[in-house]
Structure 1
Amino acid sequence: METLQMKTPLVEMDGDEMTRVLWRIIRDELICPYVDLKTEYYDLGLPHRDETGDQVTLDAANATRRLGVAVKCATITANRHRQEEYGLKEIWPSPNGTIRAVLDGTAFRAPILLPFLRPAVPGWEKPITVARHAYGDMYKAVELVTNEPGVATLEFTGESGRTQSLTVAKTKGPAVFQGQHNTEGSIRAFVRSCFQYALDTKQDLWFSAKDTISKEYDGEFRRVFDEEFANTYKVKFDALGLQYFYTLIDDAVSRVMRSKGGFVWALKNYDGDVMSDMIAAAFGSLAMMTSVLMAPDGSVEFEASHGTVTRHFYRYRAGEKPSTNATATIFAWTGALRRRGELDGLPDLVSFAGKLEAACLETMRDGILTGDLAVLVEPEHCRQIVNYEESLEAIATRLAKKMHDADRR
């Protein structure tokens, strides 16, 4: 069987811990036997980020803008504990936050569904897609800890020389402060991408924030959503029978729980981070959630929406073979390969991505499940609980048959 050819490389961002282990197996055993894989490789593992002063993360983000398509493994976001564990020179920022700041895109996250995997919310009949603004808020915030009484102020000096100033707080003792920001341009790009995604997928669009409390910051998001809808998207939504509405985020949570699903839920950066994990867990597993970052210039980055599966990695390092679900990481690869094939006019590469996804889903439908799914299904739907190696071997077997059958035709 001849390997499928690629024209343009993908940006490949390697990661950390258990997902790094899965990454190599997926690449070498599920993709490379069938695709002459071309990638521009960047090691975003925490040790290498530390070695390069995090320059590798910026390089990977800029490469994504240049090549247009990237696939990313899950990475560690460092804290003081991780600094001690890895002996880091600094507590480096979230690589996802850095990449999103460079690309200024929107992260769309949607669950991967199985017919026998019932959501924890019984009324959900269709997937819920979280559209997460991927710039600013606490991910670009500055923070300050003080140890004496004093006054904190927020000051802005415009290019005109005009200064605006607000008193944040007068403190009587030690305190902690955080300054967040966003830009009108980034908010508007987020809003437009949400409306366009809803139109493309023919789904209603909800946006929620807390403008009753954050009257200026959250209010700016609501203002731009309302303005873009009225001026550009209302006629298009009406033509398709779609609805857009805003509601406070606490009201939105209760509405989501009572809904049947089947809509796009647009959220600010941190809100989207939290709620996408809630949606993933309620639909089944964090390992069953896709994530694609779409930038205004058309570049896209595919990744799993979960973390590095640290507890499984510690067990792996101790010689065990944990039951880690690789589905979302596989779908990150297939999403990137499909997009690359579409952009470069390579239908066979697009078809391969579909076959790999089908092999993955068929393995689970055949009752071969990792532990995270096995505890969620009725006994008749679980024939075998497997570790990560056994799961990937079962997927490889089904993929080989699909590729062989296609080659014979």
Structure 2
Amino acid sequence: MAKVRVERPLVEMEGDEMAQVMWAWVRDRLVLPFVDVGLVRFDLSIGHRARTDDRVTLDAASAARRHGVSLKCSTITPDRTRQRELGLARALPSPNGTLRAALDGVIFREPIICRNVARLVPHWAQPVVIARHAFGEQYRAQELAVPGPGTVRLVFDGADGSESRELYRFDGPGVALALFNIDASIRGFARACLHYGLQRRMPVYFSHKATVLKQYDGRFVDLFAEEFEAFAPAFAEAGLVYAPRLIDDMAAFSVKSTGGYLWACKNYDGDVQADYMAQGYGSPGLMTSVLMSPDGRLVQTETAHGTVRRHYDRWRAGAPVLANPLATIHAWSRALWHRARLDGTPDVAHFAETLERAAADLVDEGVLTPDLAPLAATRRTPVDTAGFIDAVAARLAGALR
């Protein structure tokens, strides 16, 4: 069987623990036997990041910008406990945060829907894509513990003058928090969401609280509206809509709807809603994650779960691995699909779609890992992770003949 040839390489970022083991299994059993693709590899495991003082993450980001499509395995972001456990000189920053900042991207999370996996919200028949603005807000905020009576002010020192506004006059101890965002990032967020909505043929809704945060959220609403002007003809031709919606209304709508739309969220909102949606669709392990630049020309796919340490400890002890690898499979398939989209190679896109369908068909037939088996209406004797990947490889080989 001739391999499908990919014209341009993928940037591969390897990770940590069980996620990296499953990553290698999927790459070596489901991708490389069927696809002739160049891989520009970077080791983002915690040990290698520590040895390079995290320079490797910046090098990986540079390569991702150069080649256009990259994919990333889950990595460890150490807290103080893990820093001591791993013997690190310092608690390295999140490589995801470093890469998102370098690529100026927006995160798109989408559930992997399998008919045989029960959803907590049964009428969510179509996927909902959660778009998360990955800049500013709680993740780059300044917080202050107020020790006692006094006044907290919000101060702007500008080149053409200054402005000071009283935030709150404290009668006793408390806390204060200052958030920020910038027009350039908000505009990029809007463009990325609108590009993605067109690619997936989905209406786009931006959730906000501009009734209360008239200047802060109001700025998001205004800039989304300005950016949409350039997209309006294409949206109309595709029969799609864009609309801003109050987050209260959007949350209620999400519960009642059947899915099939893109929900654009501010940074922290997107963090929360992605987890909420993952549970509603069945499992956090059944989610895809794509980071895309505002112009749609840079894409990084990710595994949407952590490093699966519990399963890693079992695997090192010699026990079989029982985690489902669907998110890892989709990280590879979606990277190949975007490579095909950018390069104009439909045979590569066909392979990516066939790989996803082979995995989903097995789940629907009851071939499941133990973590998914309790959610399934139809199931055979559960298989371990390696057994599931081997079954996908056999199904894929048959479909490509």
Q: TM-score, normalised by structure 2?
A: 0.89
Cα distance in 1 for partners of 2:30, 2:352 equals: 11
**Displacement, 1:388?**
1.2
SS at match of 2:127: coil
- AA at the equivalent of 2:50: D
Find out whether 1:365 has 2:340 as its counterpart: no
- Which is further off, 84-93 or 12-21? 84-93
Q: Is the 8 A contact 1:371 1:386 kept in 2?
A: yes
**Displacement, 1:321?**
2.0
Find out whether 1:129 has 2:129 as its counterpart: yes
The aligned counterpart of 2:65 is 65
- Alpha carbons of structure 1 residues 80 and 375: separation in structure 2 relative to 1, 3 Å: same
The aligned counterpart of 1:401 is 398
- Alpha carbons of structure 1 residues 151 and 128: separation in structure 2 relative to 1, 3 Å: same
Cα distance in 2 for partners of 1:241, 1:339 equals: 23
**Displacement, 1:338?**
2.5
User: 1:259-316, CA deviations, whole angstroms, 9 ceiling, x for partnerless residues?
Assistant: 1211111101221122112212211222221121110341111112222223222332
- Alpha carbons of structure 1 residues 144 and 47: separation in structure 2 relative to 1, 3 Å: farther
- Which is further off, 246-255 or 17-26? 246-255
**Displacement, 1:176?**
5.7
- Which is further off, 94-103 or 247-256? 247-256
User: 1:32-65, CA deviations, whole angstroms, 9 ceiling, x for partnerless residues?
Assistant: 2223331111112222222222222222122111
- Alpha carbons of structure 1 residues 236 and 122: separation in structure 2 relative to 1, 3 Å: same
Find out whether 1:382 has 2:388 as its counterpart: no
The aligned counterpart of 1:249 is 247
- AA at the equivalent of 1:400: A
User: 1:373-403, CA deviations, whole angstroms, 9 ceiling, x for partnerless residues?
Assistant: 211122xx10121221111121122223334
The aligned counterpart of 2:48 is 48
Cα distance in 2 for partners of 1:317, 1:178 equals: 44
**Displacement, 1:153?**
4.8
Cα distance in 2 for partners of 1:346, 1:202 equals: 20
Q: What are the residue-to-residue correspondences of 1:10-409 with 2, within 5 Å?
A: 10-142=10-142, 153-158=153-158, 160=159, 162-168=161-167, 178-229=177-228, 231-234=229-232, 236-238=234-236, 240-297=238-295, 298-378=297-377, 381-403=378-400, 405=401
Percentage of matched positions with identical amino acids:
46
- Alpha carbons of structure 1 residues 16 and 141: separation in structure 2 relative to 1, 3 Å: farther
Cα distance in 2 for partners of 1:344, 1:326 equals: 27
Q: Is the 8 A contact 2:290 2:300 kept in 1?
A: yes
- Alpha carbons of structure 1 residues 154 and 360: separation in structure 2 relative to 1, 3 Å: same
- Which is further off, 240-249 or 303-312? 240-249
- AA at the equivalent of 1:389: A
Q: Is the 8 A contact 1:97 1:139 kept in 2?
A: no
Q: Is the 8 A contact 2:7 2:37 kept in 1?
A: no
Note the residue ranges of structure 1 that are not aligned, 5 or more in a row.
Answer: none
- Which is further off, 111-120 or 343-352? 343-352
Cα distance in 2 for partners of 1:261, 1:251 equals: 15
- Alpha carbons of structure 1 residues 180 and 321: separation in structure 2 relative to 1, 3 Å: farther
Q: TM-score, normalised by structure 1?
A: 0.88
- AA at the equivalent of 1:296: P
- Alpha carbons of structure 1 residues 33 and 201: separation in structure 2 relative to 1, 3 Å: closer
Provide the alpha-carbon RMSD of the alignment.
Answer: 2.6
- AA at the equivalent of 2:384: N
**Displacement, 1:235?**
5.3
